[in-house]
Amino acid sequence: MSLSKVGKLFVFIMLLVSGGALAAAGIFKDFDGGFHSVSEYTGDGKWLVVMLWASDCHVCNQEAHSYQAFHEKHKDKDARMLGISLDGMAGKADAQAFVKRHKVLFPNLLGDPKAVAGFYQDLTGKAWRGTPTFLVYDGKGELQAEQVGAVPVALIEDFMAREGAK
Q: Residue 61, class by beta-carbon neighbours within 10 Å (0-12 exposed, 13-18 middle, 19+ buried)?
A: middle
Write the DSSP symbol of residue 32: T
In total, how many domains does the chain have? 1
Average confidence (pLDDT) over 12-17? 41
Q: From CA 122, how far away is CA 128, in angstroms rounded?
A: 10
CATH number for 48 = 3.40.30.10
> With the C-alpha atoms ordered 111, 114, 118, 124, is the resulting torsion angle positive or negative?
positive
Which of 23-37, 82-96, 110-124 shows the lowest per-residue confidence on average (mean pLDDT)?
23-37
Q: How confident is the model at residue 51 (pLDDT cuts 50, 70, 90)?
A: very high
pLDDT of residue 106: 98
| Residues of the chain above pLDDT 90, percent | 81
State the Cα torsion 130-24-92-100 to the nearest 10°: 70
Q: Is the pLDDT of residue 18 over 60?
A: no
Q: From CA 143, how far away is CA 26, in angstroms rounded?
A: 13
Q: How confident is the model at residue 118 (pLDDT cuts 50, 70, 90)?
A: very high
| φ, ψ for residue 32, nearest 5 deg | -95, 0
More confident residue, 22 or 164: 164
Q: From CA 139, how far away is CA 161, in angstroms rounded?
A: 12
Q: How confident is the model at residue 7 (pLDDT cuts 50, 70, 90)?
A: very low
More confident residue, 72 or 4: 72
Q: How confident is the model at residue 161 (pLDDT cuts 50, 70, 90)?
A: very high
Cβ-based neighbours of 66, under 8 Å, separated by 6 or more: 152, 153
Secondary structure class of 135 (helix, strand, coil) = strand
Q: How confident is the model at residue 10 (pLDDT cuts 50, 70, 90)?
A: very low
Render pLDDT for 67-99 as a digit per residue (tens, 0 to 9).
999 999 999 999 999 999 999 999 999 999 999
| Residues of the chain above pLDDT 70, percent | 84
Nearest to 47 by CA among 160, 145, 148: 160
* Rama region for 42: left / alpha / beta (φ>0; ψ in -120 to 50; rest): beta
Q: From CA 123, how far away is CA 107, in angstroms rounded?
A: 20
pLDDT of residue 165: 73
Average confidence (pLDDT) over 27-40? 94
Domain hosting 110: range is 3-164
